[in-house]
Amino acid sequence: MLNTIRHGAPTEKPTLLIAHGLFGSARNWGVISKRLSDEREVVAVDMRNHGQSPRMATHSYPELGDDLAHVIDGRWDVLGHSMGGKAAMLLALTHPEKVGKLVVADIAPVPYQHTQTHNIDAMRAVDLSRVGSRADALGQLEGLEPGLAEFFLQSLDLKEGRWRLNLDVLEAEMAKIVGFPDIDLPPFEGDTLFLSGANSDYVRREYRDRIKELFPNARFAKLPDAGHWLHAEKPREFEAAVRTFLNM
């Protein structure tokens, strides 16, 4: 069901599946996917309601995990960032036979209190009838956090004059997106890396007990001078950390 972008060819090493975060797409991971594909096949997906994947009426983590399960042919390693990290955790917990090693980038299996609806409002406020170039749209996205406007514009289809995001459903399901389902499932016993930005507070020390309950073989690492968008801020360091873990 999900749109996929494949890099490299199958090797003796497991294929790596990459799941992006909220408002992202498989294209955002192009550079990292290509670099990691020197050793293994890498498959990046557009999550439902994002990119070229189908628009659906709901957006819950059990559904996102099942979406990923349908992409996997056999047993793959999985990397997910933020929303994609939560979906990857649900995938590992509900379909452990499909997951080898798991990398969770800057997110924990806990509910958060923040919201992203202000960013949806900012995208909705762009008058797409007056947008002939990305520079036109960028001028209408002033006031956002540094780098966010450029990130959002990667999901703007200039030719069609629309966002490649199902903003209505993402807004309606925001409580589920920032939350995490209350699950009662056996833990995922596979090797798991929680890789965080040292400047981010998304994976706090007080969350580690819950992480260890669900992922008893979890290990933790932080990238210096990186925040929540660690893969964009420190791409080479992020790639090196992921590569080292997958090859252990």
**pLDDT truncated to tens, each residue of the chain (248 aa)?**
999 999 999 999 999 999 999 999 999 999 999 999 999 999 999 999 999 999 999 999 999 999 999 999 999 999 999 999 999 999 999 999 999 999 999 999 999 999 999 999 999 999 998 898 888 898 888 777 768 888 999 999 999 999 999 999 999 999 999 999 999 999 999 999 999 999 999 999 999 999 999 999 999 999 999 999 999 999 999 999 999 999 99
Residue ranges with strand state E in 99-224: 99-105, 156-157, 162-163, 192-197, 218-223
Alpha carbon distances (Å) from 184 to 90, 98, 181: 11, 19, 9
Annotated catalytic sites, by residue? 82, 228
Burial (CB count <10 Å: 0-12, 13-18, 19+), residue 147: exposed
Place of tokens 């073989």: 217
Other Cβ atoms closer than 10 A to 9: 9
The reported pLDDT for the residue numbered 143 is 75
Question: Are 167 and 120 contacting, i.e. CB atoms less than 8 angstroms apart?
Answer: yes
pTM exceeds 0.85, yes or no: yes
* Half-sphere exposure for 215 (CA within 13 Å, toward CB): 27
Question: Are 54 and 1 contacting, i.e. CB atoms less than 8 angstroms apart?
Answer: yes
